[in-house]
Structure formats: C-alpha cells, structure tokens
Amino acid sequence: RLFWRDRKLDRARTWCNRACVLEPTLGDAWANYLAFEVDHGTAEQQAEVVQRAVSAKPEQGEHWLSVTEDPAHHGLDTEAVLRRVAGLMRIA
C-alpha cells in the first residue's frame, strides 16, 4: 500500500502479485490487489486478478472473514465477496 500511495504503480503491482503468490488463500491480499487494479489497471488486469482469486479459493483475512461470516452476505460466491472486500480496501 505504501508504493500505491506514493504512486509507484509498477512496484505496487509487483508487491500485490507477490503477496497473492506467497499466500494464495489470503482473501485480503486478493482484495487489495483488485482494489489497486480498479484504481490503476485495465479491465483485463482486473479480470485476471478476479480469475486468479476465484481459482485460489481464498478463505483467510480479517476483512475477508468479516464479509463471509456476516449473515447478510450468506451465499455470496468468491467473486462477489472479493469485490465487496476490495471496495472496503480502496484508498481514497
């Protein structure tokens, strides 16, 4: 997030990708990556992050669990949870 705030976009993208590769079940990392791509990436880059996240089947993370364990969000698929958590993580 530091690189993201400092507008070092290539480095931020690299670090987001590394986090997802090292810990693919960490939903917060995927959501952070998607939030970054929504702000600075193309539609294709966003679609790739979503596709990779759905394949990884994330199930961990503070924000991820707050959404998945909320009864109001019961039955959401991985992509819907990912987009909801990414919305929470965007930098204003």
Q: Which residues contact 24 (CB under 8 A, 6 or more apart)?
A: 56, 58
pLDDT at 83: 95
Give the 3-state secondary structure of residue 37.
helix
Q: What average pLDDT score do residues 74-78 get?
A: 92
Q: What mean pLDDT value characterizes the chain?
A: 89
pTM score over 0.85: yes
Query: pLDDT at residue 90 above 90?
Result: no
The tens digit of pLDDT for each residue in 42-63 reads 999 999 999 999 999 999 999 9
Give the 3-state secondary structure of residue 53.
helix
Query: pLDDT at residue 65 above 60?
Result: yes
Q: How far apart are CA 33 and CA 31, in angstroms?
A: 5
Q: What average pLDDT score do residues 19-27 get?
A: 95
Q: Which residues contact 14 (CB under 8 A, 6 or more apart)?
A: none
